[in-house]
Structure 1
Amino acid sequence: MIHPRLTALLSVLILAAASLPATALPPDGSGAADVARIEPQRIDEALGGLVDAGSLVGVSALVWQDGREAYFGSFGLADREAGRPIARDTIVQIFSMTKPVTGVALMQLYEQGKFQLDDPLAKYLPEFADVRVHAGTDVKGQPLLVAPPRPILVRDLLRHTAGFVGGNGDSGPVGLLYRQADPENFGNTLEEMSRRLATVPLLYAPGTRWLYSPAVDVQARLVEVLSGQPFDRYLQRRVFDPLKMKDTRYTIRAGDWPRVAALYLRSDDGVMTRIPDAEAYKLNARETALKPGSWGLTSTLDDYMRFARMLGNGGELDGARLLKPATVRLMASDALPAAATDTSWLPGKGQVGFGIDFAVRIAPPKNAAEASGEVGEFFWDGAANTLFWVDPTNDIAAVLFAQWLPFGKVPLHKAFRDAVYYHDTSAAAPRE
């Protein structure tokens, strides 16, 4: 989810068409091909080709398979104006790839018995005890607010079915009330954010729709309440330090700025314009009160790969166990309720459901137009076109970094996925 302060920069953009000839699907498009081995040259061609064509300023990627590094590549620039190449240690904004990190933090507390998934949210955050659902307007044009059929459950926070509206769309009167409440103001603590959000009517009854929202920010507040620690401190002590993620944080340190990537805005005709650093890194340039669970972290390829590998290893990496294997399996299982037939733009991610803070692939790509992937993988991406996924079937973890807004418009994710899952049946070799 892009922060509301960036939406004004995006209002002039419209969809731009682009295509790539490569596909990783079998000729009949019936599903993802089995992976014999990662072919670095093919990934180089896919990513480097987009940079050479002028579609991207810079891109980097890292793939692990079978417990070892199978691919690393970087192409183009992290800072075009300074002529600085994108590198393995380049620091980028991961935006919504912050969400799975928050999910891991909260599920650690679940393992400790601090809450149950079907507990009412108000049991821990009383401000949500009297929420109301927007049910249209009365004859005077005033909002009609009714009690929800059931309370918001903790489970609803984890799968985006709580009823919250986001700050990016119109969403009528509820969207206006959300913007007036301003829960995402950088001056808010998570406690204040939660209090303000609870004053906004729900857009729909809990459990009836999937709608991307600030629910993960409420997860972060729940971590604070259940652990007794500020959220960012909890992440440092319980996630980043154990995983040795030395470059992942909300506030960029002074000495790290030479490694920070610029953020670009892509116009409808493909021109990349640099967003001034003061705007692009408004949250990260100094210590701010708000430490969102939904977005805000900066990271490097190797740091985020350690997080992805931990998930792929069933919650453990290099002797540091963050979660039990059963908890990771729970997070990676489709949790959408049958009643939630309206899933907004989620089907645009492919044949997926939604687990705990990431999408879960439940069927192979239905045709060659969809990006390649394996049933059982779980993944998520970020507003600036970052991406990660974990594929247990093929023992793959992949991380892709780029830095431009708005999301999409260039088929980068499909190009990368298709190159990773490309399988030449005429020259197949067994995996070692």
Structure 2
Amino acid sequence: MSMNQKALKRLEDEINADIERGSYDGVNLIVARHGEIALQGTYGYAERATGRPTKRDDVYRILSMSKAFTNTLAYRALGEGKLALSTRVVDLIPEFLGTDPFRAVRKDRINLAHLLTHRSGMPATPDPGLPADRFGVLADVIAALGSVDVVNEPGTNLNYAPSINHALMGEMVRRAYGYGHFRDLARDLVFEPLGMTDTAFGLPRANEGRAVPLKVYVPEDGWLAPEDIECLNDYITADAEMPWVGATSTVDDVFKFAELFRRRGEVDGEHLIAPAVVEQATTLQTGDMPNDLYSGLAAQRSWETPAGNFGLGFSLSGTGTAPNFFGPFTSPRTFGNYGAGSTLFWVDPERDLTFVFLSSGVMDEGDNVARFQKLSTMVVAAAV
């Protein structure tokens, strides 16, 4: 499969060194080429404080990588004619306008394309309008968003949306398919067809014993405080439905998901996602727009400002030397998704290379970008 085994060993050694110096606690990873696994590794601790070792079947709260699953439901809906990129949020969720016509200005312009490309103009906040202990009830989140105002003209500003865009998208696809629960829709249309038996929105009770706790290592004065993430240990429950942050999965299941897109939507001889939809989802849609959230992070570290580089839902590698999750040596069309300080997958279509990385110990996001820039480059360096 044309992988340099010495380079893969260097990758493992670097990860073990990171864990030894306390940068993060543990890792499950897969590196594959042409769909064949070249390296599957399990390192460090699922929970450093108790000495619990990482195991291959550990179940992770994958945070914003959850958005990739929600995006995939939208891809299916697009290919099946249930939604269009021009479908407005209010076409399916009229109550999103709220009750004040003056505060509803611009809300009627937000469409699915805006949500997928993080250009909705809604606030870039992890708080979708109500306390964290109510995040798990999607109906309550949608009701709360009726009173949240647009802050930018839709389509004019790229600002990564931690919560609001995908809460709205999740409800749009739920209503488009007529399902009672979003989690059941994801199970039926994505997880079961791919054989992702350990993946769900929410944490099934049967998986609780394998769940990796979220332990956060970020400054108290950072963009997010530790409790903003660690509270999800309590709130991602069996019944929770959070289309933006609430999925749980294993390294093997995320690999199955990544492989679906490496194969351009095909699984077991059938196309779960139309190739034409995959093509556009993995094509740059945001031009040279910067991503306001990560531009701010780059400025704090005196880094070059990166372009936003979004397709329809997928983050793309792009070109240039600015630090990013996929590193500067992946091909420009490399695509993937990631979760705050902890999880990542990408597919390099030019090299036919897949990388999946789920870690315990949530890092500061700037440190996380630096880590993945380093490790992604080492993965690419192993492809010969």
Please give the TM-score of this superposition, normalised by the length of structure 2: 0.84
* 2:301 aligned residue: none
Q: 2:118 aligns with which of 145, 160, 164?
A: 160
Listed one character per residue, the Cα deviations across residues 330-349 of structure 1 (whole Å, up to 9, x for unaligned) are: 111111267xx453034559
Identity %: 24
Q: 2:194 aligns with which of 220, 231, 243?
A: 243
- SS state at 1:72 partner: strand
State whether structure 2 residue 362 is matched by structure 1 residue 417. no
State whether structure 2 residue 160 is matched by structure 1 residue 212. yes
CA RMSD between the two structures:
3.2
Change over 3 Å in CA distance of 1:313–1:211 after alignment to 2: same
Q: For the residues of structure 2 that align with 1:188 and 1:102, how far apart are their CA atoms? A: 15
State whether structure 2 residue 151 is matched by structure 1 residue 193. no
Whether the 8 Å contact between 1:184 and 1:193 is mirrored in structure 2 is no
Change over 3 Å in CA distance of 1:113–1:195 after alignment to 2: same
In terms of Rg, which structure is larger? 1
State whether structure 2 residue 252 is matched by structure 1 residue 302. yes
Q: Return the letter of the residue paired with 2:265.
A: G
Q: Return the letter of the residue paired with 2:124.
A: G
Whether the 8 Å contact between 1:132 and 1:147 is mirrored in structure 2 is no
Change over 3 Å in CA distance of 1:49–1:102 after alignment to 2: same
Change over 3 Å in CA distance of 1:268–1:301 after alignment to 2: same
* 2:239 aligned residue: 287
- SS state at 1:353 partner: coil
Q: For the residues of structure 1 that align with 2:23 and 2:89, how far apart are their CA atoms? A: 44
Stretches of structure 2 lacking an aligned partner (at least 5 in a row): 221-225, 299-304
Whether the 8 Å contact between 1:98 and 1:295 is mirrored in structure 2 is yes
Q: For the residues of structure 2 that align with 1:276 and 1:351, how far apart are their CA atoms? A: 27
Shift, 1:257, TM fit: 2.8
Q: 1:64 aligns with which of 32, 40, 44?
A: 32
* 1:203 aligned residue: 151
Shift, 1:82, TM fit: 3.1
Q: 2:105 aligns with which of 140, 143, 147?
A: 147
- SS state at 2:69 partner: helix
Q: For the residues of structure 2 that align with 1:195 and 1:409, how far apart are their CA atoms? A: 36
Shift, 1:319, TM fit: 3.2
Whether the 8 Å contact between 1:264 and 1:275 is mirrored in structure 2 is no
* 1:96 aligned residue: 64
Moved more, 366-375 or 392-401: 366-375
Listed one character per residue, the Cα deviations across residues 113-160 of structure 1 (whole Å, up to 9, x for unaligned) are: 112212332222212357989xxxxxxxxxx95833971122111111
Shift, 1:36, TM fit: 6.2
State whether structure 2 residue 293 is matched by structure 1 residue 345. yes
Q: Return the letter of the residue paired with 2:141.
A: M
Change over 3 Å in CA distance of 1:234–1:342 after alignment to 2: same
Whether the 8 Å contact between 2:333 and 2:349 is mirrored in structure 1 is yes
- SS state at 2:185 partner: helix
How many aligned positions are there? Answer: 364
Change over 3 Å in CA distance of 1:108–1:247 after alignment to 2: same
* 1:390 aligned residue: 347
Structure 1 or 2: more helix by fraction:
2
Whether the 8 Å contact between 1:262 and 1:275 is mirrored in structure 2 is no
Stretches of structure 1 lacking an aligned partner (at least 5 in a row): 1-34, 134-143, 169-177, 424-429
Question: Which aligned pairs between 1:121-140 and structure 2 lie closer than 5 A?
Answer: 121-129=89-97
Whether the 8 Å contact between 1:381 and 1:387 is mirrored in structure 2 is yes
